[in-house]
């Protein structure tokens, strides 16, 4: 019988690093390296991000103080802003601030 390590299975992860809470990033400059908007696992119809029968979740690969980190959540205004970004413009620097909801500045 083969051992799992002999099967040649490779782990591919799009985003790397530990999760960071948005409150810890507020006002600090970060480097946005990649992002993806996916259907959320949460299904709350009264959520302001509920669109076309599904809730959206933003995943961001970012760099904070030289470390790769991941931020995710259903941040309506960040999702609206990031949809306007061309992936060819990655990476870029930004600050995340709370202006009646989190936004990039």
Structure tokens at 104: 């990039």
Q: How many angstroms separate the CA atoms of 104 and 96, rounded? A: 5
Confidence (pTM): 0.76
Quick check: 50 pLDDT over 60?
A: no
> Minimum mean pLDDT among 14-23, 37-46, 92-101: which range?
37-46
* pLDDT confidence band for 54 (50 / 70 / 90): low
Residue 57 φ then ψ, to 5°: -130, 130
Indicate the pairing of strand 29-39 with strand 54-64: antiparallel
DSSP 14-57: SS-SEE--HHHHTTSEEEEEEEEEEE-S---TTSTTEETTEEEE
* Per-residue pLDDT, 43: 62
> What confidence score (pLDDT) does residue 42 get?
67
């Amino acid at each position: 019988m083969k051992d799992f390590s002999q099967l040649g299975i490779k782990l591919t992860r799009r985003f790397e690093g530990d999760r960071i809470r948005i409150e810890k990033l507020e006002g600090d400059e970060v480097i946005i390296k990649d992002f993806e908007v996916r259907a959320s696992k949460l299904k709350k119809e009264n959520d302001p991000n509920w669109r076309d029968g599904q809730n959206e979740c933003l995943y961001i690969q970012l760099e904070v103080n030289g470390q790769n980190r991941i931020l995710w959540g259903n941040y309506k205004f960040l999702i609206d802003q990031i949809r306007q970004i061309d992936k060819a413009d990655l990476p870029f620097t930004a600050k995340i601030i709370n202006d009646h909801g989190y936004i990039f500045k």
